[in-house]
Amino acid sequence: MGAGTSQDVWGSWILERRDGGAGASRSRLFERLAPVRDQILQGTRIGEGGTLMDVGCGDGLVSLGALDLVGPSGKVVFVDISQQNLDFCRQAVEERGQLERAAFRFASADRLDGIDDESVDAITTRAVLIYLPHKHLAFEEFHRALRPGGRISVWEPINAHGEPEPPDTILGFDLGELAPQSTKVREAFDRALPPDRDPMLDFDERDVLSWVEAAGFTDLELRLEVYDEPPRPPADWEAFLDSSPNPLAPTWREAIDEALAENEVEPFLAGFRSLAECGTGRYRRAGAHIIGVKPA
């Protein structure tokens, strides 16, 4: 379904498919993301009375965290191309009784329609630009929307450090001993998101730095974090099968059902489960946090 309807690909991923809808996986994800959120917000140096815009707000990880920082006289502008995510955030803000300090805009990061020039003090973004084919346009828009002296604090996964993965490895799980079925499942993921046309793989932190600089930001700070670790055993196996690594990819269950014959599914699942639960494999996760200032 398209953006603007009650269900959309971004909304259904954030609110269901990212963690298969299970509470245990969701709280584990939040534990991992909370320090990233804090780091992003600290990078903005936003305080009482400021206006912060969070672009690609999702379910509000960063933007809901900003509401208390800006206080009753400040404003948080929630921006997303998913009406479902914007509605979710609006409800969360309403439940906190803080609607008067929030605004909601349906707009794309690379074309911030409805956002005035020099109208915000800080811009945050986490895991959004990775999906854009022309990522530099977003930094030009951020520069336009910021007041002089305003700051961007952007954190993006740098998937090019961990992908493409070795054959028969899927999202870090080494499933080589389940070949040829694992090869077919891996091909189903690759068909959905061909690695050579994947906007999540066509850049690294040096590109981010050069786009930010070219857009006119100064006082740049760039931090790259790289973690090389075994994939974590699923917190809830059924929910794990209903989860997908990103909004453009199938869930494990969808990929397995598409790739394998009916009689291959159960034996593959049994083998996969025992490998996954003992944490076989390795995955390299990386993320870049960039801060920049629009000159006053």
Q: Contact between 181 and ligand SAM (CB under 6 A)? A: no
Region from 53-61, 166-174, 187-195, 254-262 binding ligand SAM, contact rule CB under 6 A: 53-61
Which residues 9-28 are close enough to bind ligand SAM by CB under 6 A?
10, 14
172 touches 283 (CB < 8 A) = yes
Work out how close the CB of 258 gets to ligand SAM at its nearest, in angstroms, rounded to a whole number.
Answer: 23
For ligand SAM, the binding residue among 78, 131, 203, 268 (CB under 6 A) is 131
- Bridge partners (DSSP) of residue 223 are 289
CA distances to 15, 51, 180, 218 from 294, rounded to whole Å, are 34, 15, 53, 6
Q: Which is nearer to ligand SAM, 108 or 182 (CB)?
A: 108
Cβ closer to ligand SAM: 72 or 111?
111
Q: Is 44 in the site for ligand SAM (CB under 6 A)?
A: no
- Interatomic CA distance for residues 64 and 236, integer angstroms: 27
Burial 75-97 (b: 16+ CB within 10 A, else e): bbbbbbbbbbbbebbbebbeeee
Residue 58 interacting with ligand SAM (CB under 6 A): yes
Comparison of 29 and 265: residue with beta carbon closer to ligand SAM: 29
82 binds ligand SAM (CB under 6 A): yes
Q: What does the alpha-carbon distance between residue 292 and residue 8 come to, in Å, rounded to a whole number?
A: 32
Give the footprint of ligand SAM on residues 83-112 (CB under 6 A): 85, 108-109
Q: Determine, following the binding rule CB under 6 A, whether residue 81 of this chain makes contact with ligand SAM.
A: yes
The nearer residue to ligand SAM, 132 or 265, going by C-beta atoms, is 132
40, 58 in Cβ contact below 8 A? Answer: no
Q: CA 132, 200, 253: angle at the middle one, nearest 5?
A: 115
Closest CA to 3 of 106, 127, 128: 106
Question: How many Cα neighbours within 13 Å face the side chain of 236?
Answer: 15
Which of residues 127, 255, 259, 269 is near ligand SAM by CB under 6 A? 127
Q: Which residues bind ligand SAM (CB under 6 A)?
A: 10, 14, 55-58, 61-62, 80-82, 85, 108-109, 126-128, 131-132
